[in-house]
Amino acid sequence: MKVAILGSGPSGMMASHAASEYGAKISIFDSSPDKSRRNSGVYFLHDDCNLLLDSIKIRQTILGINSLSEEQISEAYGLKVYGKLVSKVSILNAIKNKEVSGYNAGQAIERLWDLYKDHINRQTISGLKDVEVLLDKYDKVISTIPARVLYPNYKYEHTVAWIKVGTSPKHEAFILYSVSPNHNWYRCSAMFGVFVMEYGYDYVPPAPSNNLTLDVYEYKKVIKVLGEGLMSTISDLFLVGRYGAWKKATLTHDVFYEVLKWLEKN
């Protein structure tokens, strides 16, 4: 089986890994492949996806919940992040599981590029016609590029958020969630030497200073997906990834297993 993967970001490289593990011959297509270009939200994985990644135990808790029910916690968190009530908010996991395993996402990116960089082709995909051309040469196409490229008329529900990124001591491993009105952030974490503080829909980051010694944090603008997923209109085209399928709940490690499942079924 010959499989074309669209995109060489974290989801694209993970999809390539899954297709390779399935036994397919892969080719990756990206208009501007760059290992340093990575989704700002990928700081750890929930699974090592057969990559033998380093792992840590991450402590987690939620702040500001003592007088709230689980339903109220979910509602408060959704409002803080998205500015509206949303379904499938995963914050309650932090109440039930005080500790989770985390795998090194930075290490995963390095490993995936070492394994599959020679399969990357510099090529722009600008619509479904380009996919149809690829399907003349490949049995399957897996797309992780933004779904709006292939379906420009689809109405995407989303909001904008900001992430503050810096460094942390290597030994720190925690995630703090907050529904407290006293915190303008909703999630704060440290793991694998990276500190992250995430802000919701109404946050405005500070302007950069002229003093580089004061700018110890980098602010990254991210799109928060609210959709339940877009289905492909072509049988041999699979849309996967948070932006590739416009699916809110999909994490990077999910791409690995969703691609394997799709290839097995198709």
Q: What are the pLDDT digits (tens) for 24-41?
A: 999 999 999 988 765 556
In 3D space, the residue among 29, 57, 64 whose CA is nearest the CA of residue 176 turns out to be 64
Query: Is a pLDDT exceeding 90 seen at residue 89?
Result: no
pLDDT at 39: 53
Pick the CATH number of 2-265 from 3.40.640.10, 3.80.10.10, 3.40.50.300, 3.50.50.60: 3.50.50.60
Q: Write out the E strands in the chain.
A: 2-6, 25-30, 44-45, 55-63, 99-104, 120-122, 140-143, 158-167, 174-178, 185-191, 194-199, 218-225, 237-239
pLDDT at 64: 95
pTM of the model: 0.93
Query: H or E element: which one contains 37?
Result: none
pLDDT at 214: 59
- Tokens, residue 215: 């700018």
Q: What are the pLDDT digits (tens) for 127-157?
A: 999 999 999 999 999 999 999 999 999 888 8
As a whole-number percent, the residues of the chain with pLDDT over 70 amount to 95
Least confident among 6-10, 148-152, 209-213, 260-264:
209-213
Domain ranges of the chain: 2-265
Pairing of strands 158-167, 194-199: antiparallel
pLDDT at 213: 57
pLDDT at 47: 96
